[in-house]
Structure 1
Amino acid sequence: MDLAELVRAVGGHEQYAAALASILGLTDVLDLPLITDEMLQELDEKLPDPEQRLAPIPRRKLDLVREYLTRTDLEADSEVLSSPHRFPLDHIERRHYQQLIGMANWLVTMGRLDIHHAVTTLARYASEPNHGHMDRALRLFGYLKKFPMKGIVMDPTPPTFENFEDEYKPDPDDLLLYGEVEEEIDEGLPTPSTLGDAELQITAVVDANHAHDRVTRRSITSYVIFIGSSPIMWTCKRQSVVSTSTYESEFRALRHATESIIFLRYLLRSLGVAVNSPTRVLTDNMSAMMSSTLRKTHISAKHAALSYHRVRESIAAGIITVEHIDGNNNFADLGTKSHPVHRHHELVDMVMV
């Protein structure tokens, strides 16, 4: 624990911070307890010079300080949050929690995809939060305070991936089931204004976390879509039905990404941007990647088969290609689960600066 951190957290008042650390017996960040009225009174008496005494800092603000100083990772695991052994918040605290989640959702929309999984998990409990949920919401804002300048960069060059495996080349006969299908292109769209043969590469990375939700056992879908090397669209959400296998949840995630890609390709063409090449879709699930092109694969469940055929038909139409990426380099994993601090920052650094 660096006393300078505590000084900054309480507004730069060094004596106030030193007295607070002394009263609390602060030797390590994790030892900092909840602030009580008795501590505030002792703090006021400990400052020897009356002129140095400050107006008492509200306990709520000091609790925020405590959260900022203790932990700044984004732990928001559903197993922890779904625990019933927590006291519920009162109506004022609940409103405060909902405001925090609303602000965090706005930040995700504005480009902070590094907090998307935490916000999505916490938002599920917005109607009836408890103190455990508030604890992690405050921790989330502690993370934002510690890393306020994270952002995305507009880069038109195609993305590069380490340990990338070449696209699996399917036999054209494997997709004959869908006939001579083609991508639907509106004839009324403007002529592309891109000079020469230049075309912006669209790439999507997709991942799913099977049975992520500890209450309903629904899986979670995460994908990030790039134009060039710039993240343009991203999502992190629970799937609408329970998947009985990892394979099924991964295919459902592929279908969600495919539908967003179709929308994005239409939008870009509407803006006069040339979109001719198939969009690369990268997944770390080899079974889903292989099954998207092999005719012998059969899925009997209707809801799973719809995702399966939606993806395969899009491949046959030349809208997407499905490729494999090493799981260690799949930064869509950022939206599927909580990670240890070092792994979280490793993934964030792949897509943000």
Structure 2
Amino acid sequence: MIITENDDDALRDLKHFLGTCFKIKELGPLKYFLGVEIARSKSGISFCQRKYTLDILEDAGLLGAKPKKIPMEANVALMPTGSDPLKDPTRYRRLIGRLIYLTITRPEITYAVNTLSQSMHEPRKHHFDTARRLFHYLKGAPGQGLLFSLNGPLHLTSYCDADWARCPFTRRSITGYCIFLGKSLISWKIKKQVTISRSSAEAEYRSMPATTCELTWLRYLLQDLQVKHHQPATLLCDNNAALYIAANPVYHERTKHIKLDCHTVRERIQNGEIQTTHVQTKHQVADIFTKPLPTPLFQSHLGKLGVIDIHTPT
């Protein structure tokens, strides 16, 4: 059990109460929990899963693999057919299942794992080959993880993006977003949209209410934790058409079928809970959650996510 509190007296009272109800042993400051390794420094707190990653590589038989710089080749679209089915799909399913747990400290592999997990019902050879490339990427930096910085204002900033008709089989778009508290990445998500969007603007706009709902929940959470957040959260999007829809209260043929989503975002804007801002595509960090990126852009976004490797020699 992990216990946290910003009041030392309240924390001491809680531990005393638990000690009277259960037989417990205090292990001190958090260092390791369910495969997650925690380290502290003057810069902040870092989370990684180095041992867990090495266990996955050993399970895959790729501890000696040659490292790769990106988890997935750019412009790759995995089809459900195209090669022979695997003779033993249980191994593929086990490895992908373990990778899903790894995404809690490795946000940069979320898109690749999400794509590979969609083939678990009938994995094929080209799916496993793509998974092997991901293992080669993990071999390059098994101790990579997230840094939660001690510096910077406690302000919510989010990036939302969508890749229109990304799925080659269903032609549904992919929604991706990431949310920062100050400099620290605290929430991210990738999900295939439930409907087919008829334009890139519609696909981009559908990612905005999903991000808005997460921002609203985080504001309530910060309030419960007694963290003041008076200013509106910032929502950055690289699609001007989607931003115009959020600002324009007039509905027309292109937007009336997404009126509910429009209300979700616009109501939060009018209440002063969020403010929308345009961001250039090259600075759209959420791109890493919606598509495979070329190496230079991937490495650039990786640094912006606050992903570090404390095991790298300095």
Do Structure 1 and Structure 2 share a fold, with TM-score over 0.5? yes
Indicate conservation of the 8 Å contact 1:68/1:142, yes or no.
yes
1:97-141 per-position Cα deviation (integer Å, ceiling 9, x unaligned): 1111111111112x2001011011111111110011111112111
Structure number with larger C-alpha Rg: 1
Look up the SS of the partner of 1:75 in the other structure. Answer: coil
Q: For residue 105 of structure 1, what is the aligned residue in structure 2?
A: 100
Q: Which amino acid aligns with 1:337?
A: K
Q: 1:301 offset after TM fit, Å? A: 5.7
Q: For residue 281 of structure 1, what is the aligned residue in structure 2?
A: 235
Q: For residue 308 of structure 1, what is the aligned residue in structure 2?
A: 262
- C-alpha change, 1:152 and 1:310, in structure 2 (3 Å) is same
Q: For residue 180 of structure 2, what is the aligned residue in structure 1?
A: 226
- C-alpha change, 1:290 and 1:80, in structure 2 (3 Å) is closer
Q: For residue 154 of structure 2, what is the aligned residue in structure 1?
A: 200
- C-alpha change, 1:299 and 1:277, in structure 2 (3 Å) is farther
User: Any residues of structure 2 matched to 1:294-305 within 5 Å, and which?
Assistant: 294-296=248-250, 298=252, 303-305=257-259
Q: 1:336 offset after TM fit, Å? A: 0.7
Q: For residue 118 of structure 1, what is the aligned residue in structure 2?
A: 112
- C-alpha change, 1:70 and 1:106, in structure 2 (3 Å) is closer
CA distance in 2, matches of 1:112, 1:66: 19
- C-alpha change, 1:88 and 1:270, in structure 2 (3 Å) is same
Look up the SS of the partner of 1:151 in the other structure. Answer: strand
Q: TM-score, normalised by structure 2?
A: 0.74
CA distance in 1, matches of 2:122, 2:250: 47
Q: Which amino acid aligns with 1:342?
A: P
Indicate conservation of the 8 Å contact 1:211/1:243, yes or no.
yes
CA distance in 2, matches of 1:291, 1:303: 12
Q: 1:208 offset after TM fit, Å? A: 0.6
Indicate conservation of the 8 Å contact 1:331/1:350, yes or no.
yes
Q: 1:275 offset after TM fit, Å? A: 2.2
Q: For residue 81 of structure 2, what is the aligned residue in structure 1?
A: 84
Q: 1:323 offset after TM fit, Å? A: 0.5
Indicate conservation of the 8 Å contact 1:87/1:130, yes or no.
yes
Q: For residue 220 of structure 2, what is the aligned residue in structure 1?
A: 266
Please state if 1:342 is matched with 2:296.
Answer: yes
Q: 1:156 offset after TM fit, Å? A: 5.0
CA distance in 2, matches of 1:251, 1:280: 16
Please state if 1:147 is matched with 2:138.
Answer: no
CA distance in 2, matches of 1:139, 1:245: 32
Indicate conservation of the 8 Å contact 1:223/1:234, yes or no.
yes
- C-alpha change, 1:324 and 1:290, in structure 2 (3 Å) is same
CA distance in 1, matches of 2:162, 2:58: 38
1:44-95 per-position Cα deviation (integer Å, ceiling 9, x unaligned): xxxxxxxxxxxxxxxx9899449933855322678642052210012xx311
Q: Which amino acid aligns with 1:101?
A: I
CA distance in 1, matches of 2:98, 2:200: 33
CA distance in 1, matches of 2:174, 2:193: 6
* Aligned-residue identity in percent: 33
Unpaired runs of 5+ residues, structure 1, are 1-59, 159-198
Q: For residue 74 of structure 1, what is the aligned residue in structure 2?
A: 71
Q: TM-score, normalised by structure 1?
A: 0.66
Q: For residue 47 of structure 1, what is the aligned residue in structure 2?
A: none
Indicate conservation of the 8 Å contact 1:68/1:138, yes or no.
no
Q: Which amino acid aligns with 2:103?
A: V
Q: Which amino acid aligns with 1:151?
A: G
Q: For residue 94 of structure 1, what is the aligned residue in structure 2?
A: 89
CA distance in 2, matches of 1:266, 1:322: 19
Deviates more, 1:100-109 or 1:253-262: 100-109
Q: For residue 128 of structure 2, what is the aligned residue in structure 1?
A: 134
Q: 1:349 offset after TM fit, Å? A: 1.5
Structure (1 or 2) with the greater helix fraction: 1
Structure (1 or 2) with the greater strand fraction: 2
Q: For residue 185 of structure 1, what is the aligned residue in structure 2?
A: none
CA distance in 2, matches of 1:203, 1:61: 38
Look up the SS of the partner of 2:119 in the other structure. Answer: coil
Equivalenced residues, count: 251
1:6-57 per-position Cα deviation (integer Å, ceiling 9, x unaligned): xxxxxxxxxxxxxxxxxxxxxxxxxxxxxxxxxxxxxxxxxxxxxxxxxxxx
Indicate conservation of the 8 Å contact 1:72/1:139, yes or no.
no
Look up the SS of the partner of 1:81 in the other structure. Answer: coil
Look up the SS of the partner of 1:154 in the other structure. Answer: strand
- C-alpha change, 1:322 and 1:63, in structure 2 (3 Å) is closer
Indicate conservation of the 8 Å contact 2:63/2:139, yes or no.
no
